[in-house]
Structure 1
């Protein structure tokens, strides 16, 4: 292969979501030539991996993509799926990225002379720097025990769920109570379906407290400015499950205990299937209590902030459980349960096998500091808690991109300087 015929880009961005296009925006601001490779379409996952009634769980005013802040009529509301897609379409139009859609990156490897060789489905290119903007949610997780379930049970992952009507008549088992699981369980419940929910250890928070959205209070308390280095858990916070809450119908709490009062069946973590019965951990009480403890703890921190700053606000309150499991149910006979479908809401695993560069730890996770790896020229953007809470969302991904692009510009200036010195010598 004649390397002289291979097209060269100073920067290759892998991924055309909000993280990749935020990086493109800042590269354009600094006049740095680049290309964005996106294996599907820009913002693909927002259109194809969200259910019909999906909406943001953070208020619209927190949508601050670079050069394209939210400017709609409802800053305190929560954009629905079609509004999100419209917002992102406007962002793409504003950025005008040099994007090549339908192009997958197969391999990125270092070159002996410096820089990187990038193999794609449309050919080979080289780059001085590579920005990994493909996120960390690549492969839907479905446990191997799913293979042993009866063939007439319809099984889908949360990424495939659209609405209650796509599932056959009968009860639905939702496995997992993180943001997606709790909201999909609610969506099915509101549609009149009988829901069985296997509850995990996800925490929850209030939607509104003492007269304001909890997000607004936490923003005032600088919670969203806290870096991963400042967080008590340090890098461990990246493994945390997000709090469940919803922006649906103007925003409200998700209270699984209330759902139980209304007929939803709650269980502990689903552990196995023995050929006849589903087997659950007896940790439901512990999980519900833990979620409520987090809920009340966040509110207590807001109480302290209000008191310390002498803010006039409605009185404080403490959540009191409206329901408790009468007994733990470790087993459920599948044949007699009425369950006709299962929605797996237990997350995704990353897949960075195409990145043939030693920037990963023993667990296969990227090692970086604010997106900058120890390998010069390799960067990550858009991962949860890359730097702050907002790193994987519309809130702070633009600031993360600006930081990385500044680093890229410095890296290129240093290389140019070294080349100039070498020529002079």
Structure 2
């Protein structure tokens, strides 16, 4: 029988929960990892068939388990990612409780925490909330006004072009998922309409090297959020879009437009079968290009300051410009049979009945240390650096937390209760 009381309860069995479990096990600290589904479920069940990483494989460096394959500069496909994580689990056998839903977390008098789960009630002295920052798929309520004949999916439920009904497809949102799904459909010959938001884009290779290498070497990825020029605001920024397909490449929506993809601005509203868009397509494309050029300029500065001999590249020139900013699309007249919503995720911590959150429901923390002693967060975007929440640096965040957790384990019980 497993104990109903542990020193540390970890909620979430993704890469964040596994990372802190690795450190807890190494330190000999009794703990349990609760996972609502199967371990690393999001990678198994919420990624499309052709999904691949946009960061190179060498950045997969979970604690005690760096990437050991033959393509460190490649980009793992979905099934390879799942295999990597399954092998990670097998390498240290964390104390997992899979298919266990955490329904409620609260603090008891005396300092302990009570975790009400589908497998019974547990108590813990400390809790690590490792459910990540992408929990609830976002679909606008206006979607309810679309005709019932149109299939609507969130990006997390998209699998492949063949799974959609015949006809044209509208993808709403141009973060990483939206752009990559639009590309996936486009490559298969589907007629795609794409509502372009304010997401930035990034170069893939520049001046002879993968840009990820330049940004790592220059120290950008190691900048902590409290020293980042954008400060806390960077947590709300959409990830730059690019692709790991075909060995890694840039995504240029202007090129897609040249090839027949129809581009629009941000979705504004829905009236019957008519989608309405903001007149901001040109502005959004220009803004994405500005981010692209800023990254190139940052690499140029680093190369110059470090005195590196690197080949020059020609100036960027847009390959396409919209004549107008289209503001309407009749989905019925255009034979659109599917709409894929790729406008992100929300958070849902209602089960955590603790005063740990701000007015938007987001955790209040400093490098994962919450405002309540004994409770920690792990795997959040920009928890400390760009790599937080990613395979790259979630292990560093876990390492930071384990020292605080271990120090609390060593404190007398009377001190903790106080």
Deviations 1:322-347 (Å, cap 9, x if unpaired)? Answer: 00001111111222112110000001
- Unaligned stretches of 5+ residues in structure 1: none
Q: Does the aligned pair in 1 maintain the 2:147–2:273 contact within 8 Å?
A: no
What's the CA shift for 1:316? Answer: 3.5
Hey, what's the Cα distance between the residues in 1 that align with 2:389 and 2:245? 21
Query: Per the alignment, in what secondary structure is the counterpart of residue 302 of structure 1?
Result: helix
Q: After superposition, where does 1:367-378 map in structure 2 within 5 Å?
A: 367-378=364-375
Match of 2:331 in 1: 334
Hey, what's the Cα distance between the residues in 1 that align with 2:259 and 2:196? 16
- Give the TM-score of the pair, scaled to structure 1: 0.96
Hey, what's the Cα distance between the residues in 2 that align with 1:203 and 1:418? 48
Match of 1:299 in 2: 296
Hey, what's the Cα distance between the residues in 2 that align with 1:235 and 1:15? 25
Q: Does the aligned pair in 2 maintain the 1:246–1:254 contact within 8 Å?
A: yes
Q: Does the aligned pair in 2 maintain the 1:296–1:318 contact within 8 Å?
A: no
Q: Determine whether 1:160 maps to 2:157.
A: yes
Alignment size in residue pairs: 417
Q: Determine whether 1:256 maps to 2:253.
A: yes
Match of 2:316 in 1: 319
Hey, what's the Cα distance between the residues in 1 that align with 2:141 and 2:72? 43
Match of 1:269 in 2: 266
Hey, what's the Cα distance between the residues in 2 that align with 1:418 and 1:285? 60
Hey, what's the Cα distance between the residues in 1 that align with 2:384 and 2:275? 40
Deviations 1:61-84 (Å, cap 9, x if unpaired)? Answer: 111000100010010110111111
- Give the TM-score of the pair, scaled to structure 2: 0.98
Between stretches 72-81 and 409-418, larger displacement belongs to 409-418
Query: Per the alignment, in what secondary structure is the counterpart of residue 332 of structure 2?
Result: helix
Hey, what's the Cα distance between the residues in 2 that align with 1:335 and 1:12? 51
Hey, what's the Cα distance between the residues in 2 that align with 1:219 and 1:185? 29
Match of 2:183 in 1: 186
Hey, what's the Cα distance between the residues in 2 that align with 1:78 and 1:11? 34
Q: Determine whether 1:197 maps to 2:194.
A: yes
Q: Does the aligned pair in 2 maintain the 1:13–1:130 contact within 8 Å?
A: yes
Q: Determine whether 1:346 maps to 2:329.
A: no
Q: Determine whether 1:244 maps to 2:228.
A: no
Deviations 1:90-120 (Å, cap 9, x if unpaired)? Answer: 1111121000101111111011111211111
What's the CA shift for 1:415? Answer: 3.2
Hey, what's the Cα distance between the residues in 2 that align with 1:178 and 1:122? 37
Q: After superposition, where does 1:5-404 map in structure 2 within 5 Å?
A: 7-404=4-401
Query: Per the alignment, in what secondary structure is the counterpart of residue 411 of structure 2?
Result: helix
Deviations 1:151-194 (Å, cap 9, x if unpaired)? Answer: 11111110000000000111100000000000000000001000
Hey, what's the Cα distance between the residues in 1 that align with 2:336 and 2:10? 44
Query: Per the alignment, in what secondary structure is the counterpart of residue 295 of structure 1?
Result: helix
Shift of the 415–324 alpha-carbon distance from structure 1 to 2, 3 Å rule, reads farther
- Unaligned stretches of 5+ residues in structure 2: none
Hey, what's the Cα distance between the residues in 2 that align with 1:58 and 1:362? 33
Hey, what's the Cα distance between the residues in 2 that align with 1:403 and 1:353? 26
Q: Does the aligned pair in 2 maintain the 1:292–1:319 contact within 8 Å?
A: no
Hey, what's the Cα distance between the residues in 2 that align with 1:334 and 1:396? 43
Shift of the 114–329 alpha-carbon distance from structure 1 to 2, 3 Å rule, reads same
Query: Per the alignment, in what secondary structure is the counterpart of residue 356 of structure 1?
Result: coil
Hey, what's the Cα distance between the residues in 1 that align with 2:205 and 2:398? 31
CA root-mean-square deviation: 1.5
Q: Determine whether 1:410 maps to 2:399.
A: no
Structure 1 segments, 4+ long, off by >6 Å, are none
Hey, what's the Cα distance between the residues in 1 that align with 2:341 and 2:15? 26
Deviations 1:306-364 (Å, cap 9, x if unpaired)? Answer: 11111111113332100000111111122211211000000111111110110111111
